[in-house]
Amino acid sequence: MREPRLAIIGGTGLGTRLRECLDPAGVEQHEIETPFGLPSDLITTGRLAELEVALLARHGDSHQYNPTNVPYRANMFALKALGCTHVVASGATGSLSETISPGDLVSCDQLIDRTIHRPRTFYEHAAVHVELADPCCPVLRAWLEISAASSETNFHGSGTYLCMEGPAFSTRAESNMHRLAGADLVGMTAMPEARLAREAELAYALLALPTDWDCWRTSSEDSILDNVLANLQKASDAALDLLQRACMHPESLAGTQSPAHRALDKAVFTDPATISPDERRRLAPLWGRVLQS
């Protein structure tokens, strides 16, 4: 198994702060054209502690992409083309659970997709059906959890994230409905991101940064926004510390293959002989391994 390269997708609250933590020697920026357009930002590569990483700002360098318009397919395609094998994505969320407080960190294990306006697959001209029962990689989740054990962060090793379309936040009735659906967190960016990661055979983990209680829980606080920003800062600091700790131990990733790395083994239902040469070439970084075997 080759040395892993970790992609870190920074959402609201993390973004460019990660770049400041890279070893200055060898830092490069990449503009990668994909069949789905340009990614949301230049991709910065370098070394974080002991691991080669690629950093991408999900919403762009000036937060110009709202959750619906993030170029999710271009982002994942570009990371795969750069040789990334694993992805840790962060994102601000609202908490729907009494046991998850604003400022905590949550490594999610399950996702509920309630988005309606976003492309969900790379494979528009073939029938490709990946398994997604466990959308977040158990290897990556264990790697993060081990590192969290040595920190003072209030870390949750599992949680269900409901991805809504946005960009407006929930009504109170919707927030309560999300709780009834079994969600612990609500956000706007994990889907189709996790789904596309699986189609690209990228191991994916979601590090949620809860900033507030959403609106199911009424608040008497004078300035909700001030508290949200303070909690976002707290969770971002904790996420930054956790990622740096985890990147000190790349051997955990190098020694265990993620199930996601062979997600396409039996997923391409279309007879390969009927897939055009142009389509094979267009998506070669994604399915080249299985179509050549």
Catalytic-role residue among 41, 214, 222, 237: 214
Which two tokens mark 80? 């795969």
- DSSP-assigned letter for residue 143: H
61 is a catalytic site residue: no
Q: How far is CA 109 from the centre of its chain?
A: 12
Q: In residues, how long is the chain?
A: 293
214 is a catalytic site residue: yes
Catalytic-role residue among 41, 184, 212, 271: 212
Burial code of 231-269, b = ≥16 C-beta within 10 A, e = fewer? bbebbbebbbbbbbbbbeebebbeebebebbebbeebbe
Q: Which residues contact 255 (CB under 8 A, 6 or more apart)?
A: 1
Q: Which residues contact 118 (CB under 8 A, 6 or more apart)?
A: 68, 72, 165, 191, 192
Which amino acid does the sequence have at 196? L
Backbone dihedral angles phi then psi of residue 195, each to the nearest 5 degrees: -65, -45
Burial class (CB in 10 A: 0-12, 13-18, 19+), 190: buried
3-state secondary structure of 271: coil
Residues tagged active-site: 212, 214
